[in-house]
Amino acid sequence: MSYFMPEQPKEAAKVPWFDDVTTEGGWQGQATSKSIDTLRAEITACIGRLGGLASGFQRGSFNIDGQTRDGYQIHYAIENKTGKMLPGRLDIAALPVKPRQQRRNSVYEQRREQSLKMALYMIRVALDGMWFLQQLSPGYAPLMPWMLAVGKRTVTQLWAESSVMGNLLPPGETEFIEGEIVSEKKR
C-alpha cells in the first residue's frame, strides 16, 4: 500500500482528539461497527447519486501543524456536457488519536482505525446532506469544490489561496432580489 503526504498550503482548523469527541459535541460515527470497506462502498454510492463516478480511495496521512493524521484521498470524476470526464479529489483527514505512549500499541492502532472509520462515516453523512441540498437548491453543484483545476489543486484550494478568486464574488454592497444581484447604489 502506498502512502501520500500532501502539501498543506492552508492552515487547517484545530480539531479535537478523537478520544475526546462526543455526540453531544456534534460528532458522529465514533462507535460505528461498519467496516472500512462498507463505508467506502457507501461513499462510492453517495458520489454516484451526486452525479460523480468514484474511481478510487488512496489511504495515506496528512501532516497538519506538525501532527500526523490518517486519511484518504477520494478520487472521482464527473462527466461534462461533451462527455469528457473531469477529475476531482476529496481529501479526508481523520481526527488525531492521543499518542501511543499513553496506551498499549494494539489499543493505539485500534483507535487510529476507529478514527478513520469515523471520518469515512461522517463524509458519508455529509455527502447525503449534499444530495438533499442538491434537490432543494437549483443549480447547486455539490462535487464542484473538489474538482481538479490548475495542477493538482482543487477549486477550493485555489479559492482559498488566491486573491484573484475573490474577484468572482459580487461587490460587497449588493443585495439579492428575485434571482438578480442589484447594487445598493442603483436602488
The secondary structure of the chain in percent helix, strand, coil, rounded to multiples of 5, reads 35, 25, 40
What is the model's pTM? 0.76
Percent over 70 (pLDDT), the chain: 77
Please state, in angstroms and as integers, the Cα–Cα distance from residue 81 to each residue in 57, 84, 128, 149, following that order.
26, 7, 24, 17
Q: Which residue has the cell 467506502?
A: 40
State whether the Cα torsion 91-96-97-99 is positive or negative: positive
- According to DSSP H, which parts of the chain are helical? 36-49, 105-136, 155-161
Q: What is the mean pLDDT of the chain?
A: 82
Determine the average pLDDT of the residues in 81-88.
93
How do the domains of the chain map onto residue ranges? Answer: 18-148
Q: Is the pLDDT of residue 179 over 50?
A: no
Q: What is the pLDDT of residues 99-145, one digit of tens each?
A: 866 567 788 889 999 999 999 999 999 999 999 999 999 899 999 99
